[in-house]
Structure 1
């Protein structure tokens, strides 16, 4: 990836950078906070070690950007205040797709441009890797997030008509194991 992706302009007082293995504790904390916000805190089973293993090996299952405060005249420490986690998938209709799995900025840092910059970085990756679209899911009660994404140009595909005829299914681990052993 280009150097611009890693070191492009960021909101004042913050940098947006690729996540590193040592960031996993902070990312897990934000994952839990996001899940709590969506009423799904009881579902979070990810650990720092699992996140590190899955995202920072030879074949990562996800990629991630973090937003980090920069030191100033009052403090030399930094703080991770947001993240955008994504992975790649394939759509037989259109080809390559970048999927935004998680996106979070601590409430006290919202409105500062950090979220826009995180989304911009994910979009840059999608463009560089020749993805045809970026997809993500937003909780139906999170109207603030929906307005944010729409302001950036995202389209709610559930109102496009034809996608309302489809349902989202999943196999959990016990179901996959049962199916795999048939």
Structure 2
């Protein structure tokens, strides 16, 4: 990823930059707040340590941008007020895909351009890495998020073509372990 995507100053008293291991506490707090908003707070098991290990270890499993306020006076401190977490995957139909796993801006900072700038950085990474699309999931009840993404040009692919005929499945850890140890 090029340096132009990294620490970009923005006009409204904040900067969008790549997350660092020191940001993990703030990111976990926002993950929990987002999950709570979506009614899934009880499902969050991630810890600061696990996030640090998974995102900043030898093999990063995700990448992340944070939005950080820039103090106007020496008495003010910097504050992480939003994040965009993404990873890369592959689609056999079209090739490289950037997947936006999580995106959150504290409510009091919404409408200031922070969300748009975070999404812009993810899009820049997608373009620079030659991804064919950026995908993400939005809770069906989060109409304000859906309007935000659509305003930026995102298309709801669940209503496009044949995608309504597919279901999203998963294996949890016990199921993976059982399957992995299964004899042929």
TM-score between both structures, scaled by the size of structure 1: 0.98
Partner of 2:175: 175
CA distance in 1 between counterparts of 2:7 and 2:50 reads: 27
Q: Any idea what the Cα deviations from partners look like across 1:87-115, whole Å, max 9, x if unmatched?
A: 00000000000000000000000000000
Question: Where does structure 1 differ by over 3 angstroms across 4 or more consecutive aligned residues?
Answer: none
* Structure-to-structure mapping, 1:8-47, within 5 angstroms: 8-47=8-47
Q: Give SS of 2:131's match.
A: coil
Q: Which runs of 5+ in 2 are unaligned?
A: none
Q: Which runs of 5+ in 1 are unaligned?
A: none
CA distance in 1 between counterparts of 2:133 and 2:143 reads: 22
Q: Give SS of 1:76's match.
A: coil
Give the C-alpha shift of residue 121 in structure 1.
0.1
Q: Give SS of 1:86's match.
A: strand
Q: How many residues align?
A: 182
* Structure-to-structure mapping, 1:37-76, within 5 angstroms: 37-73=37-73, 75-76=75-76
* Contact 1:11/1:112 (8 A) holds in 2: no
CA distance in 2 between counterparts of 1:95 and 1:76 reads: 45
Give the C-alpha shift of residue 12 in structure 1.
1.5
Give the C-alpha shift of residue 3 in structure 1.
1.8
Question: Does residue 147 of structure 2 align to residue 147 of structure 1?
Answer: yes
CA distance in 2 between counterparts of 1:108 and 1:75 reads: 21
Give the C-alpha shift of residue 178 in structure 1.
0.6
CA distance in 2 between counterparts of 1:165 and 1:119 reads: 29
Over the aligned positions, Cα root-mean-square deviation in angstroms equals 0.9
Q: Any idea what the Cα deviations from partners look like across 1:50-98, whole Å, max 9, x if unmatched?
A: 0000000121000000000001127331000000000000000000000
Sort the Cα spacing of 1:74 and 1:108 in 2 relative to 1 into closer, same or farther, 3 A.
Answer: farther
